[in-house]
Amino acid sequence: MSNILYDTRPFKTRVNDVLANDFKVKAIQTAQDVFYEKRKAVVDQVAEWEDFRNESADLRDHVLANLDYYLNQFAENAEKAGAHVHFAADDKEATAICMEVLRAKEAKMVVKSKTMVSEEIGLNHELIEAGIEVNETDLAEFILQTADFDPPSHIVVPALHFERNRIRDTFAKKLGYEGTENPEEMTRFVRRYIRDRFLRADVGFTGCNFGVAETGTITIVSNEGNGRMASSMPKTQIALMGMERLVPDFASLDVMMEMLIRSSVGAKISNYFSMITGPAREGEADGPEELHIIIIDNRRSGILGGDFEEMLRCIRCGACMNICPVYRHITGHGYGSIYPGPMGAVLTPLLVGYEEAGDLPYASTLCGECWEHCPVKIPLHELLLKHRQVIADKLQMRPAIERSIFHTVAGVFANSFLFDMGTKMGAIGMKLMSNNGHMADWTKVLPVVGGWVKAKDMGLLKMSKFRDEYAKHVAQKGKEK
């Protein structure tokens, strides 16, 4: 199974499990409302927001169009600054490089700040298999790890689905916590627990929000101090970076940071923002003695130049999740992927293939709200539709009975006589199954129709259609003349 997919059960099974968990669904809905209001407040303060969106999209497209140049420039400048730069073709090569560095350092313990790429390559599993102690230091990731690596529900706030009493019970059972379920008290406990790990860790792992090609600088955005601690306390730092996460220079970084923070957490600036150019120099108090940067492809190069290249603009802000009506109801766990929501429904099939994730593009209403809120203007709804076209038309992966039904419907719609007769027969049939102008409750058990009736009121077809009324109108006008 792919590291990206943590739940390969049928899509409907996952969704039904989620819908049965009232707390999880309500937690996501509350979080969406909070994030929406916070984001709206800070975005409304920027009169040029749409100009920034256009500039950000152009910047990302420029980098993608010249990615080979900027990757070489970044690697060259990072190495000039004293960093070791590695290129990994896939998840196995990336984890192999990590293990090579760890073995050279005889590492027994590592600390990790939040990094989605480490989840993508299955790093924790590889480290644990090798007998290395792994310590997640982001509070939410720490909660998930303590709960036996419970899957995340959001890419920015991954532990949204945990009730405070569940967190308290997990800490008590696994860590000997004896305090209350008060969030501040539990946070202080975790802070004391992790502080010791920072001091004793052999290696610190971080992600990289953006790499600055002009200087070879990596940047880390965090609302907790763990990112800075993981990059400064251990003697060796390993930074994991998706190959597309580059900006040309600091002026470009300024624009992208303006968009990222407002879109992700609804704030003007994050609590912590670190820029690291090479390891610590002589006389500097902070920073690692050795810095390794691993630039990871993992099927990204296959997306370049194709129909889905715009997906590589993504800056992992989570704004699309915070507005999506489908994510609101099925939560992150309905997707079964470390990348949930609209961005995950587009990206996951590109990274793992349609055989494993072919249902995800259908987890969307195609309403376009995700595109409206995306700071880099990724047309997610259009990309989801492209996925559906590939699945249905090119790969012929939809069930044979579904293809047969749509083929028949297309023939009826293309023939005016059949369309007219079909809609009239449909109107008669619906009237027989109706109750007070809507489909009767018993129709919820019918195949196909039941799927609509369960979720919404379904009005009845009329015997007289617009074309009939318009024909009468034209005929009446002719008589009047």
Give the span between the Cα atoms of 77 and 85, in whole angstroms.
10
pLDDT band at 435 (very low <50, low <70, confident <90, very high): confident
Does residue 439 or residue 16 have the better pLDDT?
Answer: 16
Nearest 5°: phi and psi at 203?
A: -140, 145
Residue reference for tokens 């699309």: 320
DSSP, res 280: P
Per-residue pLDDT at 450 exceeds 90? no
Cα atoms in the 13 Å half-sphere on the side-chain side of 8: 11
What residue segments make up the domains of the chain, in order of their start? 11-296, 311-394, 401-480
- Region 102-119: mean pLDDT is 96
pLDDT at 31: 93
pLDDT at residue 131 tops 90: yes
Side chain identity at 317, as an amino acid letter?
C
Question: Nearest to residue 189, comparing CAs of 197, 200, 179?
Answer: 179
Q: Locate tokens 């190069």: which residue?
A: 301
- Among left, alpha and beta (phi > 0; psi -120 to 50; other), residue 278 is left
The lowest-confidence range among 115-124, 187-196, 264-273, 309-318 is: 264-273
pLDDT of residue 1: 54
Q: What confidence score (pLDDT) does residue 354 get?
A: 96
In a 3-state reduction of DSSP, which class is residue 384? helix
Quote the strand ranges of 192-340, DSSP E: 203-206, 210-212, 217-222, 236-242, 246-247, 272-276, 290-296
Burial bucket for residue 481 (CB in 10 Å: 0-12, 13-18, 19+): exposed
Mean pLDDT value across the chain: 93
Give the model's pLDDT for residue 104. Answer: 97
CA distance 173 to 140: 17
CATH fold, domain 11-296, is Rossmann fold (3.40.50)
CB distance 220 to 113 below 8 Å:
yes
Q: What span, in angstroms and rounded, lies between the C-alpha atoms of 159 and 5?
A: 17
CA 158/CA 164 separation, integer angstroms: 14
**Of residues 454, 359, 342, the one with CA closest to residue 32:** 342
Percent of the chain whose predicted confidence (pLDDT) is above 90: 78
Reference 324, options 378, 263, 381; nearest CA is: 381
Residue type, 319: A
Q: Indicate if the pLDDT at residue 457 is higher than 80.
A: no
- What is the side-by-side strand order in the sheet with 236-242? 84-88, 290-296, 236-242, 203-206, 109-112, 133-136
Token pair in block for residue 278: 């090479």
Q: Are 351 and 298 in contact (CB under 8 A)?
A: yes
**How many Cα atoms occupy the beta-carbon half-sphere of 65 within 13 Å?**
6
Buried b (16+ CB within 10 A) or exposed e, 266-301: beeebebebebbbbbeeeeeebbebbbbbbbbbbbe
Q: How many Å separate Cα 462 from the centre of its chain?
A: 43
Give pLDDT, residue 175: 96
pLDDT tens per residue, range 54-92: 999 999 999 999 999 999 999 999 999 999 999 999 999
Residue with tokens 């630039």: 295
* pLDDT of 466 above 90: no
CA distance 119 to 351: 13
E strands, 277-354, are: 290-296
Rounded-to-integer distance, Cα 225 and Cα 93, Å: 30
